[in-house]
Amino acid sequence: MATPAPKNRQQQQATIRIVIMAAIVVCVNILASYFHTGLDLTREKRFTLTDPTKKMLRSMQEVAVIDVYLKGKFPAGLQRLQEAMRERLRSFKEIGGNKIIYRFTDPFEGKSDKDKKLIAHNLEVKGIRVMELKTQDDEEYSMKPFFPYALVQYNGREMPIYLLDAPPGRGSEEQISYAEAMLEYKFANAINQLGKPKRPRIAYLTGHGEPLAIKTYDMLSTLPGMYDLDSLDLTHTLDISLLYDAVIINQPNSLFSGPDKLKIDQFIMRGGHVLWIVNALNATTDSLANSPQFIAMEYQTELDEMLFKYGVRVNYDLIEDMQCNPLPRVLNNGKPELHDWVYFPRLNPTGDHPIVKNMDLVMAGFTNSIDTIKSTGISKTILLQSSKYSRSARSPVRVSLSMMSYPLKHEMFTKSYLPVAVLLEGKFHSVYQNRLAPEYLRLLDSLNQPFKGTCDDPNSMIVVSMGEAFSNGYSAKDGVLPMGYYQFTGEYFANKHFLLNCLEYLTDRSGVLEARSKDVKLRLLDKGRLKSEKGTWQMVNVAIPIAAVVVFASFYLFFRKRRYEKKSEPIKPLSGNA
What is the CA angle 540-545-551, rounded to 5? Answer: 120
Looking at this protein, which amino acid is placed at residue 446?
S
Give the per-residue SS3 of 183-217.
HHHHHHHHHHHHHCCCCCEEEEEECCCCCCCHHHH
Q: Which run of H or of E encompasses 560? A: helix 534-567
- How many C-beta atoms surround the C-beta of residue 546 within 10 A? 9
Q: How far apart are the first and last CA of the chain?
A: 35
Task: Single out the residue of 23, 59, 274, 37 nearest to residue 155, CA to CA.
Answer: 59
How does the average pLDDT of the chain come out, rounded? Answer: 84
d(CA 552, CA 556): 6
**Residue 133, SS3 per DSSP:** strand
Q: Which residues pair with 372 in a beta bridge?
A: 312
Enter the pTM of the model.
0.78
Q: Return all residues near 567 (Cβ < 8 A) that are at least 6 apart.
A: none
All residue ranges of the chain with pLDDT < 70 are 1-7, 10, 14, 32-47, 135-142, 166-171, 330-334, 518-531, 560-578
- Give the chain's radius of gyration (CA, Å): 33
User: What residue ranges define each of the domains in the chain, with the CATH number in brackets?
Assistant: 51-193 (3.40.30.10), 200-517 (no CATH)
Q: Return all residues near 174 (Cβ < 8 A) that are at least 6 apart.
A: 166, 522
Predicted pLDDT of residue 332: 64
Give the per-residue SS3 of 353-373.
CCCCCCCCCEECCCCCCEEEC
Predicted pLDDT of residue 578: 41
Task: Single out the residue of 260, 63, 33, 214 nearest to residue 152, CA to CA.
Answer: 63
Strand 246-250 with 201-206, pairing: parallel
Predicted pLDDT of residue 139: 59
E strands, 97-227, are: 100-104, 131-137, 140-146, 149-154, 157-162, 201-206
